[in-house]
Structure formats: structure tokens, C-alpha cells
Structure 1
């Protein structure tokens, strides 16, 4: 290593302290750490690096301290297992504290020293605001001599962390923890419940907004453990209903919900009561009822008795039992809450709540908002004896046979013990290929002294409950439950700290559900350990889809995510795959064509299987699960979703529906606009489903239910667009007209009116519109983006710029050249590379210099003296906005790629003529993850 400038290491989207330490341990010849605290949460992230160092013969010394009793005995015990690490502890007293955070790496001719604020904890290494300065200097530099001398001094003053010391320290910590327990609990209690978290605030704001526009129903979708009950109590506190009815499906939830409301509304002079098999508090102000009980006595209440109605686990609300209750009551407002809008029959949960989704929180958002604990995922290459390369993913019997290998059990236990777990007792869930496999794993674990049990759908609820309690009991010997799929969703074991993925992943949805079983916050639990044993199955790449967290992906972004260890994952969550697994997944992604009919069919059929084998007829079905496929890919293939399903299912009834040319044309016309990039048109069409016409003012009123502001001209432009004013002659000939713009009104056409009179046609039309609106809300939120209506880092096609800039000429003319204009708005569309499969294909004319600067070259005919040339090179002085849209490749897997909007740029340098080459300064720094995606070739 050579001497180089100092650098600042912080936790950000550009990198983190952990990556720097892992890289340095790997490259150095010796290392020396001195840190005040070592937690197991942080140490676990460094285990593989230290192990690799041990195998290479790299020696290390580590000093930590007893300061504030924050270092964990468990972390010290783990470090003692490594032969290459000498461990000492600086024992502090009242007079002397210990605050050092220093990492020293020795190389053949130099030293690297990192000094700053980061201890070895998961948050300090990955997510906290930390400042650490890295200095690389030659061995004989005065600074290095001083650092090493000080380290040696500390080393000599510290105590060897032998077994006796660790044992005494552990006993002390247990006693200390016990004496601190009461105050800690009181503090946590107050801290947690008085102030709404970010998710709860967002939900409450959206509920208030929906109510202000006269909406009487809304749905909140958020994972188990994210605080939906508290959110509902906060909203009730604001709304102040005199009477409330809270309905749940399971009685065990009821008492907790009542306690939450009592705690948050202590001084409101309200009475709280239960309505269950055992309790009949029918005269209370706020009644908490099971559906089983209230469905038998709802007629005893007045229809308008309750101003506010809450349905927990709202995905059950489509059942006849719920329907009879919901049809009877007439509250001012109804709130539905669910972890997943999965429905138990053919009814639509979204429809039940008037398609008003106040909030939807999926896994990545829950991690970002710290609503769940972070997870540490380790992708481990399975043993060679397990060969799944030639077996079908659906052949459970054969997969089970091949997984039942004694050596594999030993390997799983070895890895489980190496990586460890959070907390004192391991509380694990192992997801298996089938019942026989789960039973085999249980028997083998028990044989090796790890107390385990097998639970499947065949076990009674009481049996399951019994073993869940045993697993959660710190004093009980049970450490593992092996199962097939009963814990995918709906069953809550908050204290789970280990998840073993022991079967080949065949669905991103199931993967996320299984992962989610261990993410519930619980006591002092700080993270979940996930061990995934990755075999050579040909669908291994599905793991990458699940972990990527984006429903809308392409091959290149997926490869970059895998190669960079999913750097975009929020918070202290850590994803690490060993080299073989990573290469195997990258190779599979390369070979797979994500746009082929074969792949799309497989994706569709996998989703159908999770839909209880029912045909998912509607786009809204795809909003039920985190990790569901993107149905717009199916639309792109066959022009509408219904046509795709008709083809895949060979469904005669759907084919007959599509015989009606007006219906087929209307559904294709609406589908072609998905995913919508501004919401105005779809909101207006949805209003016209139940009204003959709409005025400008009515349209604005409807649009404002979804966005915080809209300008008049954009609404008028939406009216003109729906009137097909900007369609070319071929479009006008081939696309049915659903609306007519006349005398300041947008009127429903007779063709559209006739279609809506047919209940089946209407259902499919409504589904397409609702899906468009819902997805827009998810991706764009409530913000007003102005004109042009562009959101940073969103995907766009060239023609979108015409619509979104209120272009008042034919929109299909927006294509071809890399520069399109609408008045003072200039749109620059850039391809950085040729096709994805062409090596060394960078377009050096158009390129990034860094995350803030970009070089762009005009077409060959542009001169500096021309009006166009002057507008470009002096854009700021002339009031010209240069909007940059960039894509890596023009095409991938035979499909045109979208551009990504990176904001506006201003020219700071220019040279040349015919063409002009300009250097632009971007108004917004490109996020590191996106910059890597644009500039790295995997």
C-alpha cells in the first residue's frame, strides 16, 4: 500500500464502516482493534472476515472494555473461539472511562488507522450517524509510531479475557440487568407509546385527508408488529367518536387492543368493554368484540350507534359473517387494518373499503421506519452431497429425499453455532420442503441434543400454541420448531431470533413471509439471524428477487444488487452471500430472460398457486403479497392482463368476453397507460364510472383526494388528452373513445356507458383503473411535482414527457432524437451503453464524471450559433430547463428499457461544433446505489 490522503468514513448510501472493516481485515497482514463496546449484533457481521483471516494466518489483537457494562459476555466468548485473535478487556472504574474506537491495520510497508466514533455494534457499523477518519501512512511515520505506542500501553493495562474473567463478567451482567429491569421497563413503556411513530403519523394524516373529502372507509396495510393498533387508537383520539366498535377475528388480540386504547385515552371519561363469549359489556362507550359474538347480537344495537368502526385482520371481512355485520351498521367512518390484503374467498378487500388505502407498508419500508428488527442474512452454499440441479421445484418427495442427508444436518448445526443468535436462548424456526423433511430435521436435531419439535398444518391449534409457548419460554429446553408452511403468515412468535431456510426458494412471496416471522420487535431483541442454505437448484435467483425489495426490477439492477451485497437495504440489516452462492445467482440471472413467455408463465403459475390455486383474474390480486410479480409485465406481453390470463389458462369464458370489440379496445386502452405517471386521468375516469359527466371543479376536487395540489391547466390538459386531442390518426382509428370534451364538461360516451352497464365488463374496467391509482399512490405519494410532472429517479418512456409537460401537439411525435422540446422545457434522453450483451460498449460521448456532473453531446447538426445551440449552452441565462433521462441499455431481453429521470442539469462548460459537447452540473446528486447501477458492469 502507498501513502494516500485521509478520508472520512460514514454510514450512508455510498458505503459504511462495516464494508471498510471487512475489506481491511481481508487485505491486511495484522490487525489491532481498541473499542469501548463489542455487541454480538456487530460482531456477527464480522465473523466471516475474522474466520477468513484465521484461515490465511492473519493475526489480530482486540481490546474492549467493561465501560457502562455495554460489552456483551457472549461477544467475548465468540471471539475466544478464534485461534488468530488475542483478546483483552480494559476494566473501568468510576474515575476512568474508556471511549476509544480505533482500528489499526498493518501492511507490508504501511499502516491504515481508522479512528472515530464507531464501536462494534450493528448500528455503529451500518446505520448510525458516525464519523471515522481513515489515515494511511508509512511505517516509520511519527503518527503511526505514536498510535502503536499508545495501543501497546493500553494492551499492557488490560486484562486477558480468559474463561474465568468472562464467566465472572457474565454473572455480574445478569445481576446488574436484574437490578436495572424495573426502571428500564418504565422508560421503554413511556418512550414507546406516547408519541406516534413515522408510519402511524403518515397513516393518520392520510385518514384525515380522506375524511376531509367525504370518504367514509379506508384500509391500512402494514406488517404484523408495526403498530397498527396504536395507530388506530391515535386516530380515534383525534377523531373523538362518542361510540366505537372494534371487531377482531381472534379473541387473544382483543384484550391487548382494549388495553392499548385505555392507555392512550386515559382522561377522556370513556368506558371500555369486551363483547365475547365470556364478556357482555354492551353498554360501554368503546366496545371490543369478536366477530363470532357480535354477529349473533348486532341487531340489539342501533344502526348508527357507533360513529367509528374498526375491523382488525380486515382480509377476513369479505366473509358472509362479517358482511352481515358491516351491512347493518352505518358508522361515520370505518377503518380496516391488515398485514396482508389476502382474501379468503373471491371477494375484493380493496372494494370493501372503497379502494381507499390510507397506508401500505412493505418489508423494506418497515425496515426503513424501524418498525421491525433488522435481519442479518447469510447465504451459505449447501454441501456438495445435495444435488438439486435436475429436480423440479414442485417435486417435494424427490427434493425431500435429496435433502435428507446426515452430513447436511451436521453442516447446518455447525453454521448455526458459528453465526450464533441474538439473546441468551436460541428460538428458531426451520422452514422445510415438506412434512417428511420437517420430521426428519426434528429427529436429527433431537438426536444431536438440540431440543426440537415438528409442527405442520396437521397439528391442532392447541398443539401449536403449546409448543409456541415452550419456544418462547427462556427456561424451556425447546430451541427449534421445524415446519413446512403454517408459519408463513398469521402466526406470531415475536421472540424468534433464528430462521433457517432449509428448502430451495421457489417463491419470493413465501421467502418474505418466512423471513417476516422473525422480524417482530420483542423486548431487548435487536436483530434476527437468517441462515439460507443455497443449493444448485435452477431457481436460486428467486432469492435475489425477494431480497431486492423492489417489485419492479430489470436484469441489470438485480445483478448490481447481488454484486454489491444489496447495498440499498435500509438500516442495520445486513445481507451477505458467500462467493459460490453469489456467482451461482449472477450466472442464473444472466441466463434467464425475464420477458420470455416461458418465464412469465412460470411467474404467473407460482403466484396462482399461492392464491390457493384460484385464477387471479384481477390486477388488484397482485397487491395482496409483498414479493408478488409485477403484472404490468403480463400486460406488456399481451396488451391487457385479461388477454394474458385468457391465453395462459386457455380460458374460454375470458376469450368470449374479449369477442366484444368495444370491451377489448377499452381494456387495452386503459392497460396501455399502466403504470400511470400522473393520476389525473385515472381519477377522472373513475369518477365517470358513476357519473355521466364531470366539471373542471369536480375533477379537481376528486384529484385532491390523492395529491396535495393540482393546477387548473393540467386538469384541462387531462380533459383534452382523454378527448384524444393529442392522438394521431392511427390511434384515433384503433382506440375507443371513452370520454367527450364539450362546453367545459367531460362527458361519458355512449360506448363507455354501454360497457359499464354490463357487470362483468365493469368489474374488469374498474380493476384496471383502481390498480393504476393504487400503484401511483404507492410510487408517487401525495406530492405535487409541478409541470413537467416528473419525480426524481422514476422510470419514464420518451412519450411520457409529452403528457407530463402538457404538450399540446400529437404526443407520438415525441420520439426518435435524443433531444425533445416543449417550449423552454428540453428533454435529454441518453443511452449510456449499447445492448446489454455487447462487451465494452460504453458510449464515451455521454457519461458521468461523478454523482454531480454529466457530459452530454448534441446531435451532429447542432451549432453553437444556432438558437437551439444557444439555448443549450446558455440554458440558465435563457431560462431553459434541461431535464436528463438516462438508461444504461436501450434494450434488455428483447424489451425496450425505460429511462430514469435524474433531474435538471445546468451547462458549466462547452466545446466543439456540430456536435456540441457540454459538461453539466446536476441540480440533484445521483444516489450512490443508482450511480453504481449506471456505471458498473457486472
Structure 2
């Protein structure tokens, strides 16, 4: 790019050069401010390539034609190594094809293979259909992704498609049943006439695929692709007003990488099912008819189809398994929003509990309505593929066999009925809507039965009366909880548009203690505040399409506040009603019915609809009271996230005022988004660019300033603030010596990063390592123990390196190494000992035995580490598994997390092999003693939020296959490349470790061990693009981050 003589105000991405430096000096002198930033290390090559290409292009264009080749060769010969093969031959000439002796070259597309283009079906553009036919003439593989495929589009391309198929080109097609627009005849033609592979996403409700794209793979490397608006129909391909961009491997390699990786991820996603006309034609016809509104959808029986869990449901099932197998807990609570498939999870969980097809544990499923029981029974039958499974016990229906009973709580809890069933009659008891469990009838059932497994299902563990059923029945523990982000990403809930609106209210003087405002003082601030009420009304008219048609819930601070807001809305012509716990049950039912019928636009409530109430028609939520409780915030939001007909989005208006300095916005926004505090601050500032599809979070300028200031305060949380917080959250009945880090983190809704993220803290002139014991000493000086030495403090600063430890074997081993009466013989060869040792001395400044003995003599240090490991054990949901083959004797476990030092020590570096973990920086390591290649992969290589040139090097194709890029020097024919490809035959192993990013809230991010893998395929050279088949499927949460597609 030419360096400008002057710079206008605006955004730039100019590499600073000597010439630009002079311009910057002049710009600063003229009163403008310039900002420069270091190029991320992962992007340097790309940025320099762009700069050099521009400079070379300018130089060549200004050089006479007869001197251009000479200049080009001078430039090429200056590169290391200066290989003669790169020199340009006289002409210059282009190689355009290579064919067998008897063949002629295929016709070429109108657009050069190395160029990009935009096709708009204008008079000057070639027709898209014509250009696609020319692309097909030379392709080796065709990939088509299209929302719908029609026979009229096949007709336009039929000859070219058939010629490509006859030539041996592989054809893959991904499509959907969206709006029933696909023609089955077209898919049948692809499969039968072209021998193509076709996969169909049959879920038209939750998958709205609008993409239209082609990729034409060429073994020559000149792959091209088309992305745009054209479905496979005649109008789209010939004369429609369509826009399509043509991409090429040469001009846009990173976009082709993304296309290929995303297509492969879709292809291997279980949501896209292989289509076989002989097997699936009737099913496809039925769904196409149903989704298009045509008749005929009711002729197909859907009950015998496989029920497979969504990724988020698999993760919840794994959470339940961890509670049972790792923690030996058999009374478990599952929390997920209404409409996200809790009953399906319960049925899949029951299927897992079956030890064999003939051994079906006895089951009692309890709900409070007949229609819920009927639906649950259908779900279990579908999951088990057993149309005779289960019996209803509701109304006049009674079970005869009594092995698998779906009962209403009213029926089974009747006086005299419950005693007919033995306490251990049912092996598995599932209770739907478990937040009702404190009710007399539910409590009677829960207290009576003693099953092997009790599973509670609820959307809201906190009831309106303040009872927390997790605390009352499950020792305060939720076994598995569906994150809102995952449900939105899976399209199980309606998207939301959240607006943070400044209301002009100043709450800085309102009393605030233990995370809550004084309700009576808040009531005085809000009730009767006409200016704020006017702001609420104005915002409703501004943000809601038609307020007279909305169905809203408004969450208020008190009964008086609810009545006041209802009066304000009624006076403004928006019919509203106030309800509270004081309202009679018939009044509440009538109020909801009026809202459903559209006779009311808003119900104002006081803690009434926080709990699980199924009101899917709610399309607007008004948050009229401040809360930093993540639970309450998500419950209120969740009241409107249920899908309903003609409901495209939930509108959320959250009114934000100036808050008490102890109030924390980060808690609820982190719960909403799943972001770390650092990322949260950046997202608030930049407008949340990476939300689930369809959702938006928007702050007005004043609200954004309030939230940003508050979050930045939490990012820079002072030691004094933290010490006060630690003191305030200690319950009176807990002794200081028993006050654990886990207790504090749960009570204060904080994370380990708050304790260990900085390496040191200073309080009242005393500088100490950032640790729990330091905070307790400062918070309770009268209870302070023995002073720590300087060496203690140095070691304490490394305790944060253990905050990720999550597998039970390692947790026990580390505790034993620190607390056992003495270290065992042979400790120098104990790999657990090596892992713990190198965590504190990465470069191994002393022997393993001497180092561990040093740690064991420091009681404050040992107490700190044991407390941390106990907390990690309590919250762990990891299901680790020992590795096989050469790695069977190592302490490494698949799905567990390890620091770089731990995993390298666990592979024998520093014991079995020479070297120390702290000196290894590469992402690949060959371990001779174990005959193992270890790959350390960072998914997000650049520190930037989005870096398209680096994102698609390493990614999960699906849960079983991982795409990995080798080091840039590795070729297919090198000794290393051959070892990778033939490792099974050669008797060596491969193990993968993957982390999301280089750094996180606690500093350097740990790696998750994916376990061993086997070579599947490879393409390219220097670097190699290798697909590895994992011996164990990836953990779901990491897969959701590692996969290339949404």
C-alpha cells in the first residue's frame, strides 16, 4: 500500500515503516493522536506477506516489461534459501494444465483459478450456472452445502454433474428440510445417478440453515469455492437477483481453510443424517410435507428413529455419571431451562443405567399433570425403542405390572396408596419439576422411597418462597446444569435482545450487605418514582415493536412497587396487573390466562415467576429491580426464552442505575455469557461480537459506562476490598481455622482467579503471595497463625499452578505426597512426584526427593495446597480414563487437565528421559523412552478475539477426529512425517493435549489430555495437515469450542 502524505482521522491497519514513521511525526505535530500496536506473533508472517506483496506489486508495475522478470528473480534469489527453482523463466509463461497423452485439457472457468470475483447475474457477468458447469469440468471433488435442493437446479447442471461423476469425482451434498423446499427427486438423483453421498438435517425447527456454497477440490491445488445467495434452483442459478462470491485457494487460502473445515464439521455432525432413498424416502417425504404445510405429514411413524443426545445433553449425562462414579452421589439434581429436553436426558440416563437389554431397572417417573406423563412415557419408549415400555398411573389409569410406572404425584401420594409400594421397590426414581419437592405430597413421596438412583429435574432450583431444593435435598449441589449459552447455541431457546438502559437512579447510598440491597430502602427509591416509570414506558415504546400486543413480565422489588407499575401502565393504555405471593391462586391463574389471551400486556410480579412456570408466550421481560444474583437473573430471563408460535425473539429491558460500590455486574453477565472477567470487559466495550446466532446485548452510552466502570473495578479488585469481602462472607458459626477457600468462593460467587490470579498482594504495607491463607490472616488478624518465611512466600506464589487439577488419582497422589508420614522409596522415579515437583521448580533446581521434603516441612504451604485440592475435588466433573499402550503406566488421564510442566513430567521428561519440563517450549515432543509423540495444541493461537489466518489450523472435525497442522518444516517424506503416518506399524504412540488459548484468568492455560490417537489421513506438506482418530471421544465442552462450525 502506498504511504499517504497525511493521515485523516479514522481506523487503519498500516504496517509502520520508515516512511510512515515520518508521517506519524507530522500527524502528532498537527494535534491528532495516533495509536500503534504490536502485531501478534501468530499474525506477523501474514502481515509482512501482505506488505511485501504490495511493495513488490508497486515495484513491478513501475518497471518496464522487459525488466520485470529480472527484478522478480533478484527478489526471489534474496530469499533464504535462494533456490534456483523459484527463478522465473523467460516469457513469462503459465502452466495451465497437465493431461494424459490421449486427453484434451478441460475447459476453464471464465474467472482465472487464482482470482476472486463477485457474480451478480448482471449483463457483464457470466451466468452462475454456466460458471459452475465450467468448474465441474476440472474438479476432483464437489462439496455442496445448500438450504434446499430442487430438480429445476439439477436440470441446469445435469450434464456437467454426470460428466464429473463419470470421471470419478466424489460428490458430497449437505441440505435440510427447511420450509419443505427440497425436492426428493433431486436428492434421489444425486444418490442413484451420480453415486453422491447426501446428508440431510431433518430438524427444521432448531436448524435454520440458510448457507449456499460450493467447493471444487482440485488435486493440482487450485481449489475454488462459491459462497452466496443461490440455492440449487433454476432461478437462483440462471436469472435471479443473486450475489455470489468466487474464492480461490491461491488468493484467499484462509477462507478456503474455513470453508473446508466448517463443511467437514457439518458433514460429521450427527445432526446431518446419511440419506438412502430406499430407506429414508417416506420419512423425508413426510417431513417435507410437514415443514411446507402440505398434507400427508401424518402417514409416517417417527417412533422407531434413534434418539441421539445433543452435545449439551451428552455433557449433562457425563456430569451425572461423574457424580455417581467419581463422587458416589446417587441423589442428583439436573437443572435446565424448560423446553431444552430434560425428559430426554432422563430417558437417555435410564438407558445408560441398563446393564443389558433384558435387565431394565424398575422406574418411577413422577410429574403433576397427565399430559406431562404421557409425553414422558412417549419419550422413554422412543429412546428405548420399546413401544410397550411403562404404564401410566394417573386419573383412572392404574399400573398392572408395576415395574416402570409414570405416576402423577396426586395418585401415588394418596393416603394408603404409597404404603402399597415397598421403599426399595423402584431402582430409579425421577421427579419432574423438583422445585415442588417441599410441597406436602412431593415430600411424602421423596421421604418414602429409597431408590438406588434419585434424579430430580427442574428449571429453577430456587422456589418463590426462597426454599432452595438443591440445598434441601442434594447437599447444595447441582449434578449437572445446562448453560444458557449452550442452549441458545443449540437453538433450543428463542434468541434474546437484551437492552441495558440507564434509568437515572442513584443507589450508591442504599444499604448493601452480603451481595444484597436493603429491600425496604429500594422500595422507597422505586415506588412512586414517576421519572423512572416514565423512562420505563418510553423504553418499552422505543424497543418493543407493538407494546399493545406484547406479553410481558415485569419483576419488581415489592408488592407496592408492582401495584405502582401496573397503575402506570394502565394509565398509559397498556393493560397490566400486579401479582405477588399474597395473591390468591385463582387470581394468579386468571392473570396468566388474560396474558395468554392478550387481554393484558404485562404482569408485574414480586418473586412470583422466578421459579419454573411454563409461560412460553412471554415475549418481553422488564427487569425493574437490581440483582447481582446469577440465579435470579437467569431465572427471570428464562421466563421468556421458551419457544412459541410467532415468537421470533425475546426482548429484555434491564434498567441500570448507579450502584453501591460493592455491587457486582460481572456475576450476572458472566453467568449469562460464560465469559471470563477480562473478556467480559472487552465485550461490553465492543458490543458483544460473539453471541449465539440471533441474540444481541446492547447498552445505551450511560448504562455502558456504569457497567464498564463496575467491571473494571472488579478486574482491579483491591486487596483491601477482597479482605473485607472475605471477612463479611464468613458465617458466625464457622471457626476461622475451618473457613475454607471453597466455602468462601461459593458464598461470595467468586472464582479461584480472585484468590490466585496476581502473583502477590500488599495489605497495610505487608507484601505476601496471593493466597487464601494471606487473605484469612489479614481478614482475621487476631486468629493469625505462625508467620511465613520468605521461602514460604516464594513457593506460595506457585500454588496457583495447581488450580486446574481435576482427576481423583492425581488429587489423592498430591495430597499423599504432602501429608503422608514419609515419602516412599523410589520417589525419584514416581511420575506423580515428578509432576508435583516440576510444578514448583520447572527447571529442576534440586532433586525430586529433596524438593518434596522441602515442601512437606512448610505447614502453611501444605495447608494451602490441601485446601485448594479439596475444593477442586468437590467441584470436579471430569471423567478421567487411563491411557493405553506405551502410556498405560503413566499418570496421564484422558479428559483431565495438565499444565505443560505436569504433562511433560508425566511423560517421563526429567526422569525417564533427559531434560526438564521448564526448558521445553515447542508444541511437539518425541519421548524415546515411551516411543511416543506428544502434541501440545493451542486452539486460539492469536491473542486477538478473531484471527481468520490462524483459526483453522487445528480444530475438531467431530468428537472423534481432530485436524492438526504439523510444524512448518515437516514434510510427508521426512523421517518425522513418515513416523507420524506409520506410527501404528512402527510401534509408536501419539498423544494429544489441547488448550483453548495461551492465557486465561489464572495466567497460563492448562491443556486437556485428549488421549492417544491414530493416524487417519494427511494432505499437504511443510506443514502437513493430519487428521487423527481419537481413541476416546473429546469431552463435549472442549469439542464445542474446538469445532470449526457453530
| Pairwise TM-score range, normalised by the shorter structure | 0.5 to 0.7
- Partner residue of 1:336? 456
**In structure 2, C-alpha distance between the alignment counterparts of 1:446 and 1:781, rounded to whole Å:** 62
- Partner residue of 1:675? 804
Counterpart contact for 2:522–2:557, Cα < 8 Å:
yes
In the alignment, structure 1 residue 450 sits paired with structure 2 residue 574: yes
Counterpart contact for 1:631–1:641, Cα < 8 Å:
no
Change (3 A) 1:272 1:291: closer
Which of the residues 637, 640, 657 maps onto 1:535?
Answer: 657
3-state DSSP of counterpart to 1:535: strand
Q: For 1:405-456, what per-residue CA distance to the aligned partner results, in whole angstroms no more than 9, with x for missing partners?
A: 4343333223323332699942111123444433322221111121222233
- Partner residue of 2:552? 428
Which of the residues 310, 330, 336 maps onto 1:217?
Answer: 330
In the alignment, structure 1 residue 246 sits paired with structure 2 residue 370: no
- Partner residue of 1:495? 617
Which of the residues 464, 467, 470 maps onto 2:593?
Answer: 470
**In structure 1, C-alpha distance between the alignment counterparts of 2:326 and 2:994, rounded to whole Å:** 36
Counterpart contact for 1:222–1:361, Cα < 8 Å:
yes
Counterpart contact for 1:499–1:515, Cα < 8 Å:
yes
Per-residue deviation at 1:530?
Answer: 0.8
Counterpart contact for 1:380–1:532, Cα < 8 Å:
yes
Q: For 1:813-846, what per-residue CA distance to the aligned partner results, in whole angstroms no more than 9, with x for missing partners?
A: 644886697847587999999xx9xxxxx9xxxx
**In structure 2, C-alpha distance between the alignment counterparts of 1:523 and 1:492, rounded to whole Å:** 14
Q: For 1:13-54, what per-residue CA distance to the aligned partner results, in whole angstroms no more than 9, with x for missing partners?
A: xxxxxxxxxxxxxxxxxxxxxxx9xxxxxxxxxxxxxxxxxx
3-state DSSP of counterpart to 1:734: helix
**In structure 1, C-alpha distance between the alignment counterparts of 2:775 and 2:429, rounded to whole Å:** 37
Counterpart contact for 2:834–2:906, Cα < 8 Å:
no
Q: 1:129-208 maps to which residues of 2 (within 5 A)?
A: 129=211, 195=307, 197-198=309-310, 199-200=312-313
Change (3 A) 1:730 1:882: same
3-state DSSP of counterpart to 2:422: coil
Change (3 A) 1:230 1:331: same
Which of the residues 369, 376, 383 maps onto 1:260?
Answer: 376
Per-residue deviation at 1:497?
Answer: 0.9
Per-residue deviation at 1:517?
Answer: 1.7
**In structure 1, C-alpha distance between the alignment counterparts of 2:612 and 2:299, rounded to whole Å:** 30
- Partner residue of 1:572? 694
**In structure 2, C-alpha distance between the alignment counterparts of 1:294 and 1:398, rounded to whole Å:** 46
**In structure 2, C-alpha distance between the alignment counterparts of 1:505 and 1:228, rounded to whole Å:** 27
Q: For 1:55-81, what per-residue CA distance to the aligned partner results, in whole angstroms no more than 9, with x for missing partners?
A: xxxxxxxxxxxxxx99xxxxxxxxxxx
CA RMSD of aligned residues (A): 7.2
Give structure 2 stretches of 5+ with no counterpart: 1-9, 11-114, 121-146, 148-177, 180-203, 214-225, 230-238, 243-291, 732-736, 759-767, 789-795, 822-828, 839-845, 928-932, 955-968, 981-989, 1029-1037
**In structure 2, C-alpha distance between the alignment counterparts of 1:901 and 1:216, rounded to whole Å:** 25
**In structure 2, C-alpha distance between the alignment counterparts of 1:719 and 1:189, rounded to whole Å:** 59
Counterpart contact for 2:460–2:612, Cα < 8 Å:
no
Which of the residues 486, 509, 514 maps onto 1:365?
Answer: 486
Q: For 1:837-869, what per-residue CA distance to the aligned partner results, in whole angstroms no more than 9, with x for missing partners?
A: xxxxx9xxxx99744689xxxxxxxxxxxxxx9
Q: 1:117-128 maps to which residues of 2 (within 5 A)?
A: 128=210
- Partner residue of 2:251? none
**In structure 2, C-alpha distance between the alignment counterparts of 1:182 and 1:570, rounded to whole Å:** 32
- Partner residue of 1:311? 431
Per-residue deviation at 1:499?
Answer: 0.6
**In structure 1, C-alpha distance between the alignment counterparts of 2:922 and 2:448, rounded to whole Å:** 60
Alignment coverage as a number of residue pairs: 687
- Partner residue of 1:415? 539
3-state DSSP of counterpart to 2:802: coil
Per-residue deviation at 1:273?
Answer: 0.9
Counterpart contact for 2:666–2:711, Cα < 8 Å:
no
Q: For 1:645-703, what per-residue CA distance to the aligned partner results, in whole angstroms no more than 9, with x for missing partners?
A: 96698599x999999xxxxxxx9999973332555423779999xxx9xxxxxxxxxxx
Counterpart contact for 1:421–1:529, Cα < 8 Å:
no
Counterpart contact for 2:831–2:906, Cα < 8 Å:
no
Counterpart contact for 2:508–2:658, Cα < 8 Å:
yes
Instruction: Choose 1 or 2 for highest CA Rg.
Output: 2
**In structure 1, C-alpha distance between the alignment counterparts of 2:1007 and 2:326, rounded to whole Å:** 34
Change (3 A) 1:473 1:486: closer
TM-score where L is the length of structure 2: 0.49
Q: For 1:120-142, what per-residue CA distance to the aligned partner results, in whole angstroms no more than 9, with x for missing partners?
A: x9999x9754569689xxxxxxx
Per-residue deviation at 1:302?
Answer: 2.6
Give structure 1 stretches of 5+ with no counterpart: 10-35, 37-68, 71-120, 136-144, 149-179, 610-614, 660-666, 693-714, 739-751, 756-760, 837-841, 855-868, 911-918, 932-938
**In structure 1, C-alpha distance between the alignment counterparts of 2:744 and 2:436, rounded to whole Å:** 18
Q: 1:267-666 maps to which residues of 2 (within 5 A)?
A: 267-268=387-388, 270-274=390-394, 284-285=402-403, 286=405, 287-289=407-409, 293=413, 298-313=418-433, 329-339=449-459, 357=479, 359-382=480-503, 385-388=504-507, 394-396=517-519, 399-403=522-526, 404-420=528-544, 425-457=549-581, 459-460=582-583, 462=585, 465-475=588-598, 477-537=599-659, 542-543=664-665, 545-549=667-671, 554-600=676-722, 628-631=749-752, 633-634=754-755
Change (3 A) 1:449 1:242: same
Change (3 A) 1:648 1:228: farther
Counterpart contact for 1:422–1:497, Cα < 8 Å:
no
3-state DSSP of counterpart to 2:874: helix
**In structure 1, C-alpha distance between the alignment counterparts of 2:210 and 2:662, rounded to whole Å:** 33
